[in-house]
Amino acid sequence: MAHKFAALGHPIQLAARQSETLDAEKTDLQLRYGVPVTLHEFDALLMETHAQFLAMLPELPEVAVSVVGLMGSQERSERDHLLASCIMRSNYEGPANILALLANRFEERGSGTLVGLSSVAGERGRATNYVYGSAKAGFTAFLSGLRNRLAKRGVHVVTVLPGYVATKMTEGMNLPARLTAQPSDVAERIVVAVKRKNDVIYVRPVWRMTMLIIRLIPEGFFKRLRL
Amino acid sequence: MKLSGWGRSPLVDAQVSVPRDLEALQKLLASKPSVIARGCGRAYGDSAINSSATIDMRRLNRMLAFDPKTGQLIAEAGVVLCDIIAAFLPRGWFPMVTPGTKFVTLGGMIAADVHGKNHRKHGSFRGCVDWIDVIGADGSIQRCSSKSHVELFEHTLGGMGLTGIILRAAVRLRAVETGWIRQTTIPAPNLKSAMTALERAQDSTYSVAWIDCLGTGGNLGRSLVFLGDHANASDLPTYRSLHPFATPAKRKLSVPFNFPCFALNRFSLRAFNSLYYRVGVWNRGQQLVDWDSYFYPLDAVADWHRIYGRKGFAQFQCAIPLNRSEEGLSALLQTVAKAGAGSFLAVLKRFGPQESRFSFPMEGYSLALDFPITTKNSHLWPNLDRITIEHGGRFYLAKDSRMSAETLRASDDRVGSFVQMRAESGWKSSFQSAQAERLVL
Ligand SMILES: Cc1cc2nc3c(=O)[nH]c(=O)nc-3n(C[C@H](O)[C@H](O)[C@H](O)COP(=O)(O)OP(=O)(O)OC[C@H]3O[C@@H](n4cnc5c(N)ncnc54)[C@H](O)[C@@H]3O)c2cc1C
Ligand SMILES: NC(=O)c1ccc[n+]([C@@H]2O[C@H](COP(=O)([O-])OP(=O)(O)OC[C@H]3O[C@@H](n4cnc5c(N)ncnc54)[C@H](OP(=O)(O)O)[C@@H]3O)[C@@H](O)[C@H]2O)c1
C-alpha cells in the first residue's frame, strides 16, 4: 500500500507497534520513490495514546489507511473471553477510535480521505469466525456512518471489504486461488478507490455477488449450514 | 502447483513457498531437505524448480542503501531489475550489465552471472558485484566477495542457485547522462560480414546481431548488426534534453492466448524475417532509441512466450571460442536452415575474455536460437549439441531445459570441479534443482 501511494509521490507516514522494525521498509520506500518517509509508534489498543500520536505526526496526512486487524483463533476465543475481547477491540474499537480522531481533524481542514480495511466476514456471522466477523461488522457500520456524516464536509471514507488475501494472516490456510487476491491487488484497488471516491469496494468482483447471496440466505436455513 | 521456466516446458508439480522475511526463510531451510531459490522464473528451463521446495524470493525485495558517490546499491535478492531502473535512472544511473528482459531479480542475475550486449567491453554481471550475502543450509549468512570467502563468491556467480540462497548483494550501477541510446544499424548480407562488423565494433559499448535463420547459401547468416552507446545530454534534441531521462510511455501489447502451432511454420517465419530485414535496411545509420526499446524490446509484448503455443519452446544458446567461431557458427546455421526450423530470435553476441568457475561466457561468439518444441525440432538438438562440442563450445544453463548430463560434461571441463565443490561444501544435499538433478550436478 505504501509503495503504491509513494509511487504517486505521496509522503509516507508508517504507524505500527515496534515501528523500529520498519526501518528497512522506510529506506526502501525512500530509495525507490524519493519521498519522505517517517515511522511512528502506534498501538490501536492503547486508545488513550491516540491523541498524542496524532499530535506527534509531522503533518496531518491527506489520506489515512487503517489496516489494523487481528484474526485470532475462533475456537480459542469461544473459551477465552480475554482473547475474544482483544479480537473485538483490535478489529473495531481501536481502528474506529483512531479514525474518529482523524475524521474530526479532516473535517476541520475540510479535506481528506479515510480508508478502513474491514472484511466480508462482517457481512454475516458464521460459526467459524463470528468473533472476528462481528467486530468487522461493527467497523463496517462505523465507516458507513462516518461517510454519511462527512459526505458534505469534503471528507471521503472508503470501506474495503477484501475477500481472501494472501498475507501473514492467512498463511498456511488453504485458500481457493480464484477468490484470493495478492496484497498488491488490494493496494492497487484502494489507490483507485481513493482517486475515484468509491464508497465500498470489494477487491475481487466475485465477492460482491457471493456476499449478496450469502446475505440473502434465510436465517432458518443459514443456521444449519456449515460455512 | 505446476511450475515451469519461461519456455513453459517442462512443467513440474512443485511446492512453492514465499518467505516474507529472513526468519521465515531460515525456518524453511531448517525444515526442508533440499531447496532451490527462484526469482522471476525467466530462466527458460528447470533451473529454478525443486519439486519439494522451491523458494520464491520475490517478497525479499527491499532496497537497503544507495551511495550516490559510487553508484553502489545494496538490495535484497528479490528486487526486480525494472524497479532498480525505475528508481535510479531518473537520478542518472543504469545497470552495468543487463539481460534482454528487465523482469529478472538481482538474485537471478547473480546466479546465472548474466551477460548483456556489452560483454566484450564490460564482462558479465560479476563485474559490478561488490559482495553477496549467501545463506547456507544451516541458516547462517556469509558475506562473500573477491576478497573474502572467495570460493563461495566465485561459485555463486554462475552457480545457478546451487551454492546457497543469495539474500542480499551490493552492486554498482553506471552513471549515465540520459535514458537514450545512440544506435547504429548495419545490415550484413552474410555471417562473415556480420562477424566483421562485430569485430570492428570494439569501441561501441553495446553490440549484437540479429540473424535471419532461414538464409541459405550466400545469404547464410544474413543479419542486422546493432551497435549502441549511451547518449550524452548533448546528443539529444533540445526538447528532449530538458528531461533526459524521460522516455515515451509504451503501449503494452499482450499475447492473450496460446498460438496454434501451425502459426509458426516456415512460411510465416520467412515473411516475418524478411520484413524485419527490410525495416533494418531502411533504418540504417544512426538513431536515438530509448533505453526500454533498446534493451527490452520483448518486454513490450507481455507473455510473448505464448506465441510458441501450448507445448512451449526451448532455447539453444551456446558460446564458441573465438578461433573456432566462424566455422562453428556456419555449421550451426546451416543445420538450422536445412531443417527450416528458423526461430523468431537468433541472436549473435561477441563475448570478451572471462575466467570463471562456472559462468557461461568465454571469449568468442554466443548464438541463441528459440524453437517451438516439436518432434521435428527435437531431432535438431543432438546435431546442434554435437557441432557446439566439436568446436570447443559450451551451453548456457539459464537457457537449457533438455540437455543430458553427458552433453554437459563433454562441453565443459569445469563440471567435475563444480560437482566436487558441491559435494565437499555440503551444497549438493541442500540446494538442488530439477536441472541439477537432470545434469547430475
Ligand atoms: C526474454 C529473455 C531475455 C534474456 N536475455 C538474457 C541475456 O541477454 N543475457 C543473459 O545472460 N540472460 C538472459 N536471459 C536469462 C535470464 O537473464 C536469466 O535466466 C536470469 O537468471 C533470470 O532471472 P530470474 O530472477 O527470473 O531467475 P529464475 O529464472 O527464477 O532463476 C534462475 C536461476 O537463478 C537462481 N536464483 C534466483 N534467485 C536466486 C537467489 N536469490 N539465490 C540463489 N539463486 C537464485 C535459480 O535457482 C535459478 O538457477 C533472458 C531471459 C529472457 C526470458
Ligand atoms: N488476509 C485476508 O484474507 C483478509 C481478508 C479480509 C480482511 N482482511 C483485513 O485486512 C487488514 C490487513 O490484514 P492482513 O491480511 O494484512 O493481515 P496482517 O498481516 O495480520 O495485518 C494486520 C496488521 O494489523 C496490525 N495490528 C494488529 N493489532 C494491532 C494493534 N493493536 N495496533 C497496531 N497494529 C495492530 C498488525 O501489526 P503487527 O505486525 O504488529 O502484528 C498487522 O500489521 C486487516 O484489517 C484484516 O482484518 C484481511
Across B109-135, average pLDDT: 98
Q: Which of A17-21, A72-76, B208-212, B300-304 has the lowest mean pLDDT?
A: B300-304
Q: How confident is the model at residue B265 (pLDDT cuts 50, 70, 90)?
A: very low
Which pLDDT score is estimated for B261? 43
Closest CA to B223 of B351, B330, B361: B330
Q: Does A27 touch chain B (CB under 8 A)?
A: yes
Question: pTM to 2 decimals?
Answer: 0.92
Give all strands of the β-sheet with B36-38 in edge-to-edge order: B16-17, B54-56, B36-38
Question: Rounded to 5 degrees, what are φ and ψ at B2?
Answer: -80, 130
Rg (CA), chain B: 21
- Cβ < 6 A, ligand 1 pocket: B 6, 36-43, 47-48, 57, 77, 99-101, 104-105, 107-109, 111-112, 114-116, 160-161, 165-166, 298, 398, 433
For the sheet containing B346-351, what is the strand order?
B285-290, B180-188, B223-230, B206-211, B346-351, B364-372, B313-321, B394-395
Percent of residues, chain A, with pLDDT higher than 70: 100
**Nearest partner of A64 among A123, A10, A134, A144, judged by Cα:** A10
Q: What is the CATH number of domain A70-222?
A: 3.40.50.720
What is the pLDDT, as a whole number, of residue A172? Answer: 80
Residue B53 and residue B60: Cα distance in Å, rounded? 17
Contacting residues of A for B83, CB less than 8 Å apart: 32
Matching residue, cell 519452446: B313
- The domain limits of chain B are 63-177, 180-405
Partners of residue A112 on adjacent β-strands: A155
Residue B155 φ/ψ region, left for φ over 0, alpha for ψ in the -120 to 50 degree band, beta for the rest: alpha
Segment B12-65, tens digit of pLDDT: 999 999 999 999 999 999 999 999 999 999 999 999 999 999 999 999 999 999
User: How far is Cα B96 from Cα B307, in angstroms, rounded to an integer?
Assistant: 31
Residues of A in contact with B62 (CB under 8 A): 24-25, 27-28
**Angle subtended at Cα A102 by Cα A101 and Cα A103, rounded to the nearest 5 degrees:** 90
Judged by CB atoms closer than 8 Å, whether chains meet at B66 and A24 is answered as no
Q: How far is the CA of B21 from the centre of ligand 1 (A)?
A: 22
Task: Provide Rg for chain A, Cα atoms.
Answer: 18
pLDDT at B262 (0 to 100) = 44
Q: Which three cell numbers stand for residue A106?
A: 479532516
Instruction: Supply the pLDDT for residue B306.
Output: 65
B5 CA distance to ligand 1 middle (Å)? 10
Residue B343 has pLDDT above 70, yes or no: no
pLDDT of residue A91: 98
- Contact between A159 and A202 under an 8 Å Cβ cutoff? The reply is no
Average model confidence (pLDDT) across chain B: 90
Which ligand sits closest to the CA of A93?
2
For the stretch B223-261, pLDDT in tens is 889 999 999 999 999 988 889 998 877 655 555 455 444
Residue B363 has pLDDT above 50, yes or no: yes
Residue A212 CA from chain centroid, whole number: 21
Q: How confident is the model at residue B264 (pLDDT cuts 50, 70, 90)?
A: very low
What ipTM goes with this model?
0.84
Res. B395: pLDDT tops 50:
yes
Per-residue pLDDT at B372: 75
Q: Return d(Cα B401, Cα B380) in angstroms, integer.
A: 15
pLDDT of residue A174: 83
Cβ neighbours around B258 below 10 Å, total:
17
Interhelix angle B380-390/B325-339, rounded to 10 degrees, is 170
Would residue A33 show up in a list of annotated catalytic residues for this protein? no
Q: What is the pLDDT of residues B371-384, one digit of tens each?
A: 777 777 778 889 99
Q: Which of A163-172, A174-183, A185-194, B299-308 is the least confident region?
A: B299-308
Q: Say whether residue B86 is in contact with chain A using an 8 A CB cutoff.
A: yes
Cell of B260: 496454434
Ligand 2 centroid to residue A72 C-alpha, Å: 11
Q: What is the pLDDT of residue B342?
A: 55
Give the class (CATH, top level) of B180-405: alpha beta
pLDDT class of B313 with cuts at 50, 70, 90: confident
Mean pLDDT of B162-184: 97
Kindly provide the b/e burial profile for residues B297-316, where b requires at least 16 CB atoms within 10 angstroms of the residue's own CB: eebeeeebbbbbbeebbbbb
**Interface contact B87, partner A, CB < 8 A:** yes
Count of CA atoms in the C-beta half-sphere (13 A) of B123: 12
Q: How confident is the model at residue A65 (pLDDT cuts 50, 70, 90)?
A: very high
Contact assessment for residue B224 and residue B185, using Cβ atoms and an 8 Å cutoff: yes
Query: Lowest mean pLDDT: which of A102-116, B131-145, B270-284, B285-299?
Result: B270-284
Taking the CA of residue A151 and the nearest CA in chain B, the distance in Å comes to 37
Q: For A130-134, B260-264, B330-334, which range has the lowest pLDDT when averaged over its residues? A: B260-264
What are the chain B neighbours of A168 within 8 Å (beta carbons)?
Answer: 20
Distance, first Cα to last Cα, chain A: 30
Q: Supply B84's cell numbers.
A: 532498480
C-alpha cell at B116: 548483456
Pairing label, strands B129-135, A12-16: unpaired
Residue contact B87–A31, C-beta within 8 A: yes
**Digit-coded pLDDT (tens) for B92-107:** 999 999 999 999 999 9
Whether the pLDDT of residue B274 is over 80: the answer is no
Residue B10: asked if its preceding bond is cis (omega within 30°), the reply is yes
Among A16-20, B309-313, B332-336, the minimum mean pLDDT is found in: B309-313
Q: Which amino acid is at B356?
A: S
User: What confidence tens digit (pLDDT) does each residue in A182-222 have?
Assistant: 999 999 999 999 999 999 999 888 888 888 888 888 888 88
Element (H, E) at B141: strand B141-144
Cross-chain residue pair A31–B65, CB shorter than 8 Å: yes
What is the pLDDT at residue B58?
A: 96
* Domain B63-177, CATH number (from 3.40.640.10, 3.40.50.720, 3.90.1010.10, 3.30.465.10): 3.30.465.10
Q: Is the pLDDT of residue A137 over 90?
A: yes
- pLDDT reading at B66 higher than 70: yes
Percent of chain B with pLDDT over 70: 88
Judge: A28–B63 Cβ closer than 8 Å, yes or no: yes
Which residue type, as a one-letter code, is found at position A83? Answer: L
Rounded to 5 degrees, what are φ and ψ at B278?
Answer: -60, -50
Which residue out of A31, A33, A175 would a mutagenesis test of the B interface target, given it has the greatest number of B Cβ atoms within 10 Å? A31
pLDDT, mean of residues B191-209: 96
Assess A41–B contact: CB distance below 8 Å, yes or no. no
Cβ-defined contact of A24 to B65 (cutoff 8 Å): no
pLDDT, residue A6, reads 97
Q: Exposure of A185 by Cβ count < 10 A (0-12 exposed, 13-18 middle, 19+ buried)?
A: middle
Instruction: Supply φ then ψ for residue B379, to 5 degrees.
Output: -75, -20
**Helix, strand or coil, per DSSP, at residue B201:** helix
The predicted structure's pLDDT at residue B304: 62
AA identity, residue A27: T
pLDDT classification of B269: cutoffs 50, 70, 90:
low
Please report where in the chains the cell 532455447 appears, as a residue.
B315
The segment with the largest mean pLDDT, out of A139-148, B219-228, B268-277, B344-353, is A139-148
Asked if the model's pLDDT at residue B109 lies above 50, the reply is: yes
Q: Where are the beta strands (DSSP E) in chain A?
A: 12-16, 37-41, 63-66, 112-117, 155-160, 164-165, 180-181, 200-201
C-alpha cell, A91: 478489529
pLDDT, mean of residues B282-305:
79
Give the number of other Cβ atoms within 10 Å of residue B404's Cβ.
14
- Number of inter-chain CB pairs under 8 A, A vs B: 22
